[in-house]
A and B are shown apart, each in its own frame.
Chain A
Amino acid sequence: SAVISQKPSRDICQRGTSLTIQCQVDSQVTMMFWYRQQPGQSLTLIATANQGSEATYESGFVIDKFPISRPNLTFSTLTVSNMSPEDSSIYLCSVGGTKGTGNTIYFGEGSWLTVV
């Protein structure tokens, strides 16, 4: 399995500010994804992080609000921009797909953000 490290693990952020979350994987993987888990809810896919090109966003998520970078096969960042209390969530990095980790999706421990 892949070992995924996320930073920060927790943060309290001021309204209107932006925060960048980092995701580091211990091996090269083809697919990297970012999910959001709002309090008491299930996981929602934000976007697929594409290496060397723009991320692919799901309906309801836009690049201006959630810019994503993926400079190589082991690292990605998600920025939550101009935060509001509604952005208080757990943000999870995940890796896998049909290549690299044998069709299994693995998750990092998540970044717990509280916006005040």
Chain B
Amino acid sequence: AQSVSQHNHHVILSEAASLELGCNYSYGGTVNLFWYVQYPGQHLQLLLKYFSGDPLVKGIKGFEAEFIKSKFSFNLRKPSVQWSDTAEYFCAAIFNTDKLIFGTGTRLQVFP
């Protein structure tokens, strides 16, 4: 079945630490990949997306993600996190339909 998995359920970091959140998907065909962020008490916002081309995608707020087809992965990275990055991060994918399928989310807490 087509699915998206995020293995890191809860990540705790200090400010200035580097971040990498894992995302894997199960599907052998063409896939569109997304990372969304949900700050406490706020609505979902798009961080970045990958459709095709350069597998290293840069998004807003200094985030980037790398699509590695051979590993079915689309990990999110940020070289130096800030307290304001505390949020829930969702990886999502569109497979062979127009439906967006979400991973379970990763809660990131950044301490000053």
B side interface size, CB within 8 A: 19
How many A-B pairs with Cβ below 8 Å? 47
- 7 extra A-B contacts, CB within 8 A, seeds A43-B102, A92-B43: A42-B102, A42-B103, A43-B92, A44-B102, A103-B49, A107-B36, A110-B44
A24 to B51, CA, bound (A): 27
Q: Does B100 contact A (CB under 8 A)?
A: yes
Structural contact, A103 and B51, CB atoms closer than 8 A = yes
Taking CB as reference atom, which chain A residue is nearest B105?
A: A42
Q: How far is the CB of A38 from chain B (nearest CB, A)?
A: 12
Distance of A26 Cα from B103 Cα, bound (Å): 28
From DSSP, what is the main secondary structure of chain B's interface residues? Answer: strand
Q: Is the CB of A105 within 8 A of B34?
A: yes
Alpha-carbon distance A109/B41, docked complex (angstroms): 10
- Given A42-B104, A42-B105, A110-B43, A103:B32 Cβ within 8 A: yes
A81 to B102, CA, bound (A): 25
Chain B's closest residue to A105 (CB) is B100
Task: Flag if A92 contacts B44 (CB, 8 Å).
Answer: yes
Residues of B49-107 whose CB lies within 8 A of A = 49, 51, 90, 92, 94, 98-105
